[in-house]
Amino acid sequence: MSQEASKTSEIEGDYLNRESIQSSIRQNFGLATDNRKTSPAEHGIAEMLVDLYKTFDEPLTHQKLFDWHILLTNGRTNLVDMGNYRTHQDAMQIVSGPSYAPKIHFMAPPSTVIPAEMECFINWFNQTTPQGLSCLPSLTRASLAHFYFVCIHPFEDGNGRIGRAIAEKALSQNSGQPTLISLSHTIQKNKKAYYQALESSNKSNHITDWIVYFSTTILEAQLYTQTLIEFIIKKSKILDRLRGQLNPRQEKVILRLFAEGPEGFKGGLSADNYLSITKTSRATATRDLQALVEKGVLQRTGDRKGTRYSLNMAFA
């Protein structure tokens, strides 16, 4: 959940502290925390995802969307409409290029029709549940729900994050349980393709390509989530086996490697990386790395300046 919270924000250009988000999530679930200070943005996205997790099976309502928007925009001072659909008269557009020759990628419906459009959307969403009058398959419903919502673009800001939450709500309702998958993580890896798919599909009534794209992304996210869970289990086992066997420098580097997730440290860990992380001498770094290799927790490849180290997940 903390990864999804940070990645859905990152897609929109907001880079939040994952540890702070995780602390806020734990607090919302009544779990022990380190009581660290969190920003309004970090607390807001964490609380929204916890609410999504706890209330996934409830019907979607205007008030639920308003509540999520308030959480996402908590602390903002540059918005006119917070916790309400947009009311400004300016055209809601996504534009690029020079002012004398702008390229319009997307134009949302005017603010005056948003209440009616959202009433239609919410009715559609609630009628397409597995128990609804017009039930739809899981991947189709999640794809359409996200696309439908962002095309209306009902809020002044936060539409992408809420739209992705709606897609996860749809997946959860269709599976009958909270569905925690790395959807935003998967989108963030190639967000250019995400925006291209949205732009291409909202220019006509033919959205098969969007459904194929988004459904494929959901399946990729599911596979990555399974990989991530297996990685976290192995991480716990490895750290348990190493407990009390590492010096503070080695422990810091091992935790840094684990923080990179299943993808691993980009380019592999070098001696220079070790020096940068630990601020120790080269001779000490060499001894530390050799000891980690001998213990079996690190694997060594290459030689001389090309020597790289990576976690040996089989050590678990």
Residue 123 sits in a domain of what CATH number?
A: 1.10.3290.10
Q: Identity (one letter) of the amino acid at 16?
A: L
Q: Residue 35: what pLDDT?
A: 81
The answer to whether residue 41 is domain-embedded is yes
Dihedral sign (CA 201, 205, 211, 212): negative
User: Which domain does 255 fall in, by range?
Assistant: 244-315
Residue at which a domain ends, from 172, 190, 225: 225
Q: State pTM to two decimals.
A: 0.87
Give yes or no for a contact between 133 and 123, defined as CB atoms under 8 angstroms apart: no
pLDDT means per 10 residues in the chain (316 residues)?
Answer: 93 91 92 87 95 97 98 88 90 74 81 96 98 97 97 95 97 94 94 93 89 98 95 95 95 94 89 95 96 95 93 90
Q: Residue 90: what pLDDT?
A: 78
The answer to whether residue 208 is domain-embedded is yes
Give yes or no for a contact between 5 and 49, defined as CB atoms under 8 angstroms apart: yes
Cα 107-108-113 angle, rounded to 5 deg: 140
Alpha-carbon distance of 219 to 2, in angstroms, equals: 20
The answer to whether residue 144 is domain-embedded is yes
Judge if 193 and 56 occupy the same domain: yes
Alpha-carbon distance of 67 to 42, in angstroms, equals: 16
Judge if 133 and 266 occupy the same domain: no
Judge if 154 and 280 occupy the same domain: no
Q: How many domains does the chain have?
A: 2
